[in-house]
Amino acid sequence: MSFAGKVVLITGGSSGIGAATALEFSTLGADVVITGRNLENLTKVSEKCAKAPLIVQGDVNKEDDVKNIIQTVIKEFGKLDVLVNNAGIIETGGIENTNLEQYDRVFNTNVRSVYHLTNLAVPYLIKTKGNIVNVSSATGIRASPDLLAYCMSKAALDQFTRCVSLDLASKQVRVNSVNPGVVVTELHRRGGMPEEQYRNF
């Protein structure tokens, strides 16, 4: 499969699934754009790609950064073919030991930022009859203990995917989510999971 001439934007491209996705698309010849907060990690990913991606440093929780991401892609390439909404965070805790601050952090990153970026990207994706891929989780389909806000956010992302898919079907823009199970990345450690628990998990 060749993606030569296709412009692919990947959020959370500095590590984990986002980094692996960038490597794969670059191997397939795409013009890849990776975003993330950590410039050093983005640079490391870029160096591993078969075709050097465009790096746009930014935080998807900051509205001005999100606007800049889209503007930079269009300024550089004049179009967008694929949007991969991958950026996400995880935090542990259930209804007895979490709070609204955690809920807001998780939903702002995993749902609100996706809504915002997709909203800005859609006019360009309609022009190219492009694709949107939302990186969800198995926990969006099946509940998992001690991950309340995360599970809720991924269920919301799946419903967002279904709704936007219906909205854009007549315009020939495909919208899908992928729901991986446990993937060995730094996500869980960053979410505060102790090392022994992570190994068992």
Cite the active site residues: 150
User: How many CB atoms within 10 Å of residue 84?
Assistant: 25
Are 93 and 149 a contacting pair, CB within 8 Å?
Answer: yes
Tokens of 36: 């993330």
Nearest-angstrom CA–CA distance, 175 and 186: 27
SS3 state at 156: helix
Tokens of 38: 């950590």
User: How many CB atoms within 10 Å of residue 115?
Assistant: 14
Tokens of 7: 């412009």
CA torsion, points 111, 117, 123, 128, in degrees to nearest 10?
Answer: -100
Nearest-angstrom CA–CA distance, 87 and 135: 8
Amino acid sitting at position 119: N
Nearest-angstrom CA–CA distance, 39 and 35: 9
